[in-house]
């Protein structure tokens, strides 16, 4: 007498696909009932070998182990989601650098121009980084060369003045970088722009916690925050 493998298949399916605990327990009980029935009705001249019985019992333990592992992983996932939510909530009201190339120029009460910070992300150290700020029309309004920039994230500030020292008009500008090594070879770089964290969107099924940066910058995930200012 052989145990119906479909029963074991259903039990395994329940462990891996989230079958209700009550149904999974019933299938496990049915599996044990079949095993006991097989032992009671086996041919005395040809009894079940120890290896076969051990294998079938091991399969039951495997099913139980899978269910316990799924429960453990589910608990870990919930803890990670809660931790991410707490971490994200702590950023509300903080300024951050995220992927982007925008710079905002404003004027204070005394008529002095100032610009939002910006940054660069480098995989390798750069011997020289050329910064170029352009208007939305493509006009170059500011350039600067910086030597010896380390790998990683580096932030910069700009006073909202052109290279002649005159204040540029209020509004949005674009920043770009040209990073090179000592041999003058171009290095890969990513521009980063300033944004203010205004809120947090909780994680939904299969998604991550997201930071709300307002209408201009939209939402980003925590791993897109490159630096907290």
- 3-state SS track over the chain: CCCCHHHHHHHHHHHHHCCCHHHHHHHHHHHHHHHHHHHHCCCCCCCCCHHHHHHHHHHHHHHHHHHHHHHHHHHHHHHHHHHHHHHHHCCCCCEEEEECCEEEEEECCCCCEEECCEEEEECCCEEEEEEEEEECCCCEEEEEEEEEECCEEEEECCCCECCCCCECCCEEEEEEEEEECCCCCEECEEEEEEEECCEEECCCCCCCCEEECHHHHCEEEHHHCCEEC
- Determine the pLDDT at residue 83: 66
Q: Model confidence over 160-211: pLDDT tens digits?
A: 999 999 999 999 999 999 999 999 999 999 999 999 999 988 877 667 888 9
Q: Is 0.75 surpassed by the pTM of this model?
A: no
Q: Model confidence over 111-127: pLDDT tens digits?
A: 888 899 999 999 999 99
**Predicted confidence band of residue 42 (pLDDT cuts 50, 70, 90):** low
- Determine the pLDDT at residue 207: 74
């Amino acid at each position: 007498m052989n145990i119906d493998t479909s029963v074991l298949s259903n039990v395994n399916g329940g462990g891996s696909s989230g079958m209700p605990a009550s149904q999974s327990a019933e299938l496990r009980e049915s599996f044990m009932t079949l095993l006991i029935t097989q032992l009671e009705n086996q041919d005395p001249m040809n009894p079940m070998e120890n290896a076969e019985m051990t294998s079938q019992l091991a399969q039951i333990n495997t099913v139980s182990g899978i269910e316990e592992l799924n429960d453990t992983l589910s608990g870990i996932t919930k803890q990670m989601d809660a931790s991410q939510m707490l971490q994200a909530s702590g950023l509300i009201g903080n300024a951050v650098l995220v992927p982007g190339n925008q710079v905002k120029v404003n004027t204070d009460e005394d008529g002095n121009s100032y610009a939002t910070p910006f940054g660069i992300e480098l995989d390798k150290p750069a011997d020289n980084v050329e910064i170029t700020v352009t208007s939305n029309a493509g006009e170059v309004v500011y350039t600067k060369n910086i030597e010896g920039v380390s790998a990683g994230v580096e932030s910069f500030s700009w006073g909202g003045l052109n290279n002649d020292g005159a204040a540029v008009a209020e509004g949005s500008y674009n920043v770009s970088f040209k990073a090179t090594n000592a041999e003058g070879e171009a290095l890969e770089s990513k521009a980063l722009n300033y944004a203010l964290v205004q809120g947090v969107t909780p994680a939904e099924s299969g998604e991550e916690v997201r930071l709300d940066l307002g209408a201009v910058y939209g939402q980003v995930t925590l791993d897109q925050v490159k630096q907290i200012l």
